[in-house]
Amino acid sequence: MKIAPAPEAQDAGTRDRVCRAVLEQGPVTASVLAERLGLTPAAVRRHLDALAAGGLVSVWETPTVPGAVRRGRGRPARRFVVTDRGHAVMSAGYDDLASSALRYLREALGEDAVRAFAEQRVGELEQRYRPDVVAAGENTGRRAEALAAALTADGYAASVRESAPGIPGIGAQLCQGHCPVQHVAREFPELCEAETDAFSRLLGVHVQRLATLAHGEHVCTTHVPLASLTTGRQSE
């Protein structure tokens, strides 16, 4: 006879699903999470309250734009993001060891050795992702979606979103809600730089890193111009 999991275990599992959904989709509202996860808004809010009490998620403070006119009535829905503590809890836990190893490498062999390590690490990911990205065809948008799917499979909680207002040119944003080397990259930005270069090679266009978790943003964001690989024109 199959024994049903205890209510506490069920709650913990659902709470983990909610936290991972915030990590992937944040900033995100409780109603959007409820629809995505097939839960009631009340249940999602209960889990969000528990996650917030544990310091794993927080309400995203919308940047104030001077002169902006507020539209609609009532208070805007709260949107949630994963905190630094939440990212740390969901990481592998080898940050201190990795940072110590890279410091030793830098002291023993210099900055070039750190850069070479970063390029080798990302190069292995690039080689693994390339078949899926190439199989997506020559449309840059579809290639970006394939890259996001490959990154998500490796724990980066990636997605492709429309470009935010104010970003020049037509394009999309490749977002990574989680980074396994986030805290290491704060001290060693070579990891982020090598990753950005790899994205450019995989997508066949020059991409621009707009924000990173390592620098305190809630998500790593890379602007991808939607250009055809064969014509150089913007994709339709």
Q: What is the pLDDT of residues 152-193, one digit of tens each?
A: 888 788 999 877 555 555 789 999 988 878 888 889 999 999
Task: Give Cα 60 to chain centroid, integer Å.
Answer: 15
67-101: per-residue pLDDT in tens? 444 545 556 778 898 887 887 776 645 567 788 88
CATH 1.10.10.10 placement within the chain: 7-60+81-90
CATH 3.30.1380 placement within the chain: 95-225
pLDDT confidence of residue 65: 40
pLDDT confidence of residue 235: 45
Confidence category of residue 141, pLDDT binned at 50, 70, 90: very high
3-state helix, strand, coil in the chain (%, to 5): 55, 15, 35
- Whether this model's pTM surpasses 0.85: no
4-61: per-residue pLDDT in tens? 444 555 677 788 889 888 887 778 899 999 998 899 999 999 999 999 998 888 888 6
Short-list 90, 72, 75, 111, CA closest to 15: 90
**Contact partners, residue 7, CB within 8 Å, separation at least 6:** none
Task: State which fold the 95-225 domain adopts.
Answer: Muramoyl-pentapeptide Carboxypeptidase; domain 2 (3.30.1380)
How far apart are the C-alpha atoms of 63 and 101, rounded to whole Å? 37
Quick one: CATH architecture of 7-60+81-90? Orthogonal Bundle (1.10)
pLDDT confidence of residue 3: 42
Percent of all residues in the chain with a pLDDT value above 90, rounded to a whole number? 45
